[in-house]
Chains A and B, each alone.
Chain A
Amino acid sequence: MKDITEKPMQQWISKDNKAEKALKRVKQNTTARIGIGRSGARYKTDAFLRFWADQSAASDAVFTEVTPETIVNLGLFEIKTKCRSKFEMITRPDWGRIIEKDQQQILKEKCVKDPDVQIYFGDGLSSPSISANAEDMLQVLKLGLEHEGLSVGTPFFVRYCRVNTARTIGPLLNAKVVCVLIGERPGMQTDESMSAYIAYKPHPQMLESEYTVVSNISRHGIAPVEAAAHIVELILKISKAKKSGISL
């Protein structure tokens, strides 16, 4: 069956383009949508539809919810930030970092205290990033960290999550290192990228520059298994240095 999204944009050249040969060569250096032809001053039908497919995937990634089944299948439980909807999630970044008392209570009841490393997932701005990457990431991170003798806390999922939930969750569970795995703002190349924000003893007054960040984790960027192995190394380094971010 036809799927217009299968062909990479870099191989996409309009048939009637006079500079087809040159475009084949120069398009190796860029993923920009060049050489796509024209109908009058507008786009060809195929290029027009491909743009909308890519942009719609990116938009859907932001506005769809991670399903409860996805969370259960990953062996996680769920808490929420102060936001009650995707609308609040995108318009109130200040609420997306707040974990209210009842949700804090759930964490206190269900999580192991004082871990060396606390890992949790957040939907952030891409729901598909969870189903695409979380299983591989969690497995490799847990095995890798425990192999190095570090204790790993009880993992969970935060709905309507921003990175700065770490400022509350870190002290609440008394974790030495917190690693937030969160969906990135999607682009037109991929809608399922995840970032890791890692902080040594995060706290409410910490600076943004105290996070060590690994971004572009997806099958189109840094593969999740590869990224997880890299994050294990980073966490080891952070644990030893007792600091994270630009001062590391």
Chain B
Amino acid sequence: MILKTKLYGKSYQFDSVKQVLSKASELKSGDTMAGLAAESKLERIAAKVVLSDLTVNDITENPSVAYEKDAVTRLIMDDLDSEAFSKIKNWSIGELREWILDENTTSEMILKTSKGLTSENISAVSKLMGNMDLVYAGAKLKIKATCNTTIGGSNTIACRLQPNHPTDNIDGVIASTLEGLSFGSGDALLGLNPAVDTVDSTIAIWNIFQEIKEKLEIPTQTCVLSHVTTQMEALKTGATADLCFQSIAGTEKACAAFGINIEMLEEAQAAFLEHGTAKGKNVMYFETGQASELSSSAHYESDQVTMECRCYGLARHFNPFLVNTVVGFMGPEYIYDGKQLIRAGLEDVFNGHLHGLPMGCDVCYTNHMPADQNDSEVLAMLLAQAGCHYFMGVPQADDIMLMYQSTGFHDIATLRELTGKRPIPEFQKWLENYGFMQNGKLGPEAGNIDLLLEKL
């Protein structure tokens, strides 16, 4: 294993695989703050050159956190498909990249092989990809998952309808939900972030979502994004939903900062498979976002792309219906501006896809980032090309509870029109019956919530 190279006659030497991965990462303010980023652009390229010659085996044998120290590492290693691994263990990361990009390499071949790749290997290959590589490679991956409906069919862009309200006011939540539905949002799920994380508020919103779904006969999924332990308590009362939500992180220690561990997630999955209302087998919904490990000082001197990949390594154990990277929520100390935001969004969605996950992206920014809606719109258009499974639908992109800007109902309709992609088929039929959608565009009744209100 060689950890040094020369560029223009100057030598660059690295201490470890972990350091090569960190220094090869595209610039992020979080890696800089953590003291992990390359010190110059050329040093970054030197790290990429070294990385391109490391083998899959080199990186597998040097995980970011040791097997003995961390439950997430153990899960990723123990889940590894040894047959797939043995076929590619001697490939260099540079060769792996070219094989993925090759036009003769199919989605099926990639997804079979990636079962033998650790999350660090997947992080590594993304560091050798430009933004267009990430879109090009990601676009060919076809990944489906089934809850009540199936996400990831060819030619679809789905949407999570996110009708958040600063006090969880039921009538306010209903208002945003109906408006969103009438604009074609909500086929991935109706999913609310509660303002207060209590059993009562979880049950109240579960019930209203289930009622809307049943009375209006909407082919979709329901979920409240409270803590997994809150949802488990709510489930015990007899109330129910389709999907179980939890935010996850890439190390055992960072998961602990979220108040979770692997056993807890396994228990929740079993409970939702038994007591939830999902028809299919994919009942988990996870959210991630670069640098949550760093923010809880649980990153083990690893860069934020690699840590994010380990979230996907954890997620794939649970065959989730959805994984969502909330890419611009952490703040400018981790992802500084529009350029870093766009890069991070492309990395996360590709890396999630390469893990075999149905990936969505909350394309978003906070007001203390030097970024704005134009940056969001650029990233959303790129991700629509990259095969991103779903986006958030928020009234005019303004989340009045979480106080950040995401993507709007109008943006979802626009992305579908621009790419010729459609909602999940059953949901599209539902929209067309109301005249909310017609010929792949918004229909004459788009925005007319009267048509839904009269049935509630």
B336 on the interface (CB 8 Å rule)?
yes
A188 to B400, CA, bound (A): 8
Partner of B396, one of A47, A58, A92, A186: A47
Say what secondary structure dominates the interface of chain B: mixed
Q: Are B171 and A17 in contact (CB under 8 A)?
A: no
A235 to chain B, nearest CB (A): 26
Q: Mask for A13-34, Cβ within 8 A of B = 1, else 0?
A: 0100111001100110111111
Q: Is A147 an interface residue (CB 8 A)?
A: no
Contact indicator B172/A32 (Cβ below 8 Å): yes
Considering only CB atoms, which chain B residue lies closest to A31 in the complex?
B400
B396 touches A33 (CB 8 A): yes
Asked if A77 CB lies within 8 Å of chain B CBs, one says no
Tell me the dominant secondary structure on chain A's binding face: loop
**Which B residues, 174 to 190, have Cβ-Cβ distances below 8 Å to chain A?**
174-176, 178-179, 183
Q: Within A25-80, which residues are at the interface with B (CB < 8 Å)?
A: 26-27, 29-38, 40-43, 47, 51-52, 54-55, 58-59, 61-63
> Looking at the complex, which of B40-48, B227-235, B422-430, B444-452 is the stretch in contact with chain A?
B444-452
**Does B305 sit within 8 A of A, measured CB to CB?**
no
**In the complex, which of the residues A18, A42, A59, A189 contacts B447, with contact meaning CB atoms closer than 8 Å?**
A18
In the assembled complex, A94 has its CB within 8 A of some CB on chain B = yes
B155 within 8 A of A: no
B165: interface (CB < 8 Å): yes
A30 lies within 8 A of B400 (CB): yes
- Are B445 and A18 neighbours in the complex by a CB distance under 8 Å? yes
Cβ-defined contact, A59 with B398, below 8 A:
no
Contact A32 B398 (CB under 8 A): yes
B395 within 8 A of A: yes
Closest to A95 in B: B33
Docked-complex contact A23 and B449, CB < 8 angstroms: yes
Q: In the assembly, what is the distance between CA of A34 and CA of B180, in Å?
A: 9
Distance, CA A17 to CA B451, complexed state (A):
13
Q: Tell yes or no: A187 within 8 A of B by CB.
A: yes
Contact B175 A91, beta carbon cutoff 8 Å: no
Contact: A55 with B373, CB < 8 Å? yes
Residue-by-residue, is B223-257 near A (CB-CB < 8 Å gives 1, otherwise 0)? 00000000000000000000000000000000000
Within 8 Å CB of A31, what residues of B?
Answer: 166, 400
How distant is the Cα of A59 from the Cα of B365 in the complex, in angstroms? 11
Complexed CA–CA distance, A40 and B446 (Å): 10
- Given A19-B450, A35-B179, A92-B333, the answer on whether A29 and B29 have CB atoms closer than 8 Å is no
Binds A, one of B11-19, B110-118, B208-216, B409-417: B409-417
**Choice from A38, A42, A185 contacting B366 with Cβ under 8 Å:** A185
Question: Which residues of chain B (344-382) have a CB below 8 Å from chain A?
Answer: 366-370, 372-373
Q: Does B453 contact A (CB under 8 A)?
A: yes
Q: Which residues of B contact A (CB under 8 A)?
A: 29, 32-33, 163, 165-166, 169, 171-176, 178-179, 183, 331-333, 336, 366-370, 372-373, 395-398, 400, 403, 405, 408, 410, 413-414, 417, 441-442, 445-450, 453
Closest 8 interchain pairs by CB?
A30-B172, A33-B396, A26-B175, A187-B403, A29-B172, A29-B171, A58-B367, A41-B413
Instruction: With A30-B172, A93-B333 given, name 17 new contacts (CB 8 A).
Output: A26-B171, A29-B169, A30-B175, A32-B395, A33-B396, A34-B176, A35-B179, A38-B183, A40-B417, A41-B413, A42-B414, A51-B396, A51-B397, A55-B373, A125-B367, A186-B367, A188-B403
- Give A residues with C-beta under 8 Å from B: 14, 17-19, 22-23, 26-27, 29-38, 40-43, 47, 51-52, 54-55, 58-59, 61-63, 90-94, 125, 185-189
Pull 13 A–B residue pairs with CB atoms less than 8 Å apart, ordered by A. Answer: A19-B449, A22-B450, A22-B453, A29-B175, A30-B169, A32-B176, A32-B179, A34-B176, A36-B396, A41-B442, A42-B414, A58-B367, A94-B33
